[in-house]
A and B are shown apart, each in its own frame.
Chain A
Amino acid sequence: MIQIVTGDARPIFKQIVDGIRMQVITGELPVGSKLPSVRGLSMQLTVNTNTVAKAYTELLSHGLVESRKGLGLFVIQPKQILNEQERQDRLEIAVNTLINETIGLNLKNDKIIDLVKSKLAQLDDKKTQ
């Protein structure tokens, strides 16, 4: 379920993009599942249909979903758009964020690494299902 917060620094269309991306990552929206129609999601969130359309355009351009004529948008297997170096850079940023968030928690390194491993394993399980 996507939540929209007005008064946030992220515009509403970006919140929708992030919300759907998160649902795909967590497996809530597995590959092959259909996104709600533009009008349907607009009504659910009480936002302008053009705002949802803009979010969907961005998801399309990111290669997260594809449009099937007359049927709607579907989640697809992510295509490899980024090269090796870009992927490495993104990973660095993500790991830095993780470290930033956890540094104040006084946890043993092993504990953090174990949790990362088990979360990744869970995702792998979902993908193979």
Chain B
Amino acid sequence: MSNFIIETQDLWMQFGSKVALKNLNLSIEAGGIHSIVGSNGAGKSTLFKLLLGVNTPSQGECFILGQNSQKLKPQDRGFIGFVNEEHTLPEWMQVTTLIDMEKSFYPQWNNDIYKQVIGNFNVEKNQKINQLSRGERAGVNLASALAKRPKVLILDEPTLGLDVVAKQAFLESLLFTEKNEECTVIYCSHQMDEIERVTDQLIIMEQGQLISASTPDKFCEKIHYWVVDYPNNIPESHLIPGLLQQKNIEGEIHYMVIDQDDSLKELFSNLGAQSAFHSEVSLHQAVNGFLSRNHHKPETEIAHV
């Protein structure tokens, strides 16, 4: 058995002619918060459905907690938490009825954790689910997921549509509620400010493939921004190595590049640049530049980094 809490091996998923996952090989070590980012349709939600054993892969295998996702036993499932953006809950139930039911299913239920988390949200236990706001539903969902003391907790865009107060409560609960030492959180979001605050490991997916896995800082260090002034001709973009993005702003050329060192300055000068101004990028810029690179240069192959 491997040390990975989640592992996929040559995983393919096809819906008709549409390929959602393309030979995905992903290994996630136990512990910490692993954030998955990618454009819409990158295959994140498909991956989660396969990991949870809801869907069957077209090819390949995936493992969660060392078990094949297709053969999960109820006791394995008991240690896998899942919170999605819909916060789907039985509408007709009272919060307290729902929680009593959940408690009875999970022997490891920890009521102190439930109370601590639900206390961050303004939820009365006798309220009916259908009277709860989006943020309160998110609170009930997260509190119940954490109280089950999961070994792996998958959060699929959990803060989508939450107001600032609910979002803050959600992030605080996620970051600071006492968890199993080995609890691994898989966090999927498009909100880069959240990603920056919570992430230990950043996983980037694109077109059903794994593109990058590293710490956010390491990822940012690979990407640089240059503003270059060419008084005469602008060189063709294929001459710029590692180019992710090129924009012409008021006659100056803005480049975002990957895996290049300072020698680029010399290259710009050889290409006729009068000046070249370098800056670091934020995580937001780095991810955005990286994911949008194919929109700007459709002819390039996806570079594995």
Chain A interface (Cβ < 8 Å from any Cβ of B): 4, 6-13, 39, 42-43, 46-51
User: Contact at A48–B33, with CB atoms within 8 Å?
Assistant: yes
Chain B residue nearest in CB terms to A47: B197
Q: How far is the CA of A27 from the CA of B168 in the complex (A)?
A: 32
A48 / chain B contacts, CB cutoff of 8 Å: 33, 175, 197-200
Q: How far is the CA of A6 from the CA of B199 in the complex (A)?
A: 13
User: Contact at B217–A6, with CB atoms within 8 Å?
Assistant: no
A6/B200 contact (C-beta < 8 A), A42-B175, A43-B176, A49-B175 known: no
- Total A-B contacts with CB atoms under 8 angstroms apart: 54
Chain B residue nearest in CB terms to A43: B176
B200 / chain A contacts, CB cutoff of 8 Å: 48, 50
Q: How far is the CA of A48 from the CA of B172 in the complex (A)?
A: 10
B176 / chain A contacts, CB cutoff of 8 Å: 39, 42-43, 49
B284 contacts A by Cβ under 8 Å: yes
Q: How far is the CA of A46 from the CA of B164 in the complex (A)?
A: 13
Determine chain A's interface SS by DSSP, over half rule.
Answer: loop
CB distance from B116 to the nearest CB of A (A): 13
A13/B282 contact (C-beta < 8 A), A43-B176, A49-B175 known: no
A39 / chain B contacts, CB cutoff of 8 Å: 176
User: Contact at B197–A9, with CB atoms within 8 Å?
Assistant: no
B10 contacts A by Cβ under 8 Å: no
Known A12-B196, A46-B175; further 16 A-B contacts with Cβ < 8 A: A6-B197, A6-B282, A7-B192, A7-B285, A9-B280, A10-B280, A11-B216, A11-B283, A13-B217, A42-B176, A43-B175, A46-B197, A47-B197, A48-B200, A49-B175, A50-B32
User: Contact at B282–A8, with CB atoms within 8 Å?
Assistant: yes
CB contacts under 8 Å to A, within B163-195, are: 168, 171-172, 175-176, 192-193
CB distance from B293 to the nearest CB of A (A): 19
CB distance from B188 to the nearest CB of A (A): 16
CB distance from A33 to the nearest CB of B (A): 24
Query: On chain B, which size bracket covers the interface?
Result: 20 to 34
* Mask: chain B, 192-215; 1 = CB below 8 Å from A; 0 = not: 110011111000000000000000
Q: How far is the CA of A81 from the CA of B198 in the complex (A)?
A: 34
User: Contact at A7–B172, with CB atoms within 8 Å?
Assistant: no
Q: How far is the CA of A117 from the CA of B193 in the complex (A)?
A: 41
8 Å CB contact of B279 from A9, A46, A49? A9
A46 / chain B contacts, CB cutoff of 8 Å: 168, 171-172, 175, 197
A13 / chain B contacts, CB cutoff of 8 Å: 217
Q: How far is the CA of A47 from the CA of B200 in the complex (A)?
A: 11
B217 / chain A contacts, CB cutoff of 8 Å: 11, 13
8 Å CB contact of B196 from A6, A42, A43, A49? A6
CB distance from A74 to the nearest CB of B (A): 24
Q: Which 9 pairs show the lowest CB-CB distances between chains A and B?
A: A6-B193, A9-B280, A6-B196, A11-B217, A47-B197, A7-B284, A7-B282, A9-B282, A48-B198
Q: How far is the CA of A48 from the CA of B31 in the complex (A)?
A: 13
A10 / chain B contacts, CB cutoff of 8 Å: 280
Chain A residue nearest in CB terms to B191: A6
Q: How far is the CA of A10 from the CA of B286 in the complex (A)?
A: 12
User: Contact at B192–A6, with CB atoms within 8 Å?
Assistant: yes
Chain A residue nearest in CB terms to B33: A48
Q: How far is the CA of A7 from the CA of B279 in the complex (A)?
A: 14
CB contacts under 8 Å to A, within B280-299, are: 280-285
A43 / chain B contacts, CB cutoff of 8 Å: 172, 175-176
Q: How far is the CA of A127 from the CA of B193 in the complex (A)?
A: 39
CB contacts under 8 Å to A, within B139-174, are: 168, 171-172
B220 contacts A by Cβ under 8 Å: yes
Q: How far is the CA of A43 from the CA of B285 in the complex (A)?
A: 26
User: Contact at B175–A9, with CB atoms within 8 Å?
Assistant: no
CB distance from B173 to the nearest CB of A (A): 11
Q: How far is the CA of A7 from the CA of B194 in the complex (A)?
A: 10
CB distance from A80 to the nearest CB of B (A): 29
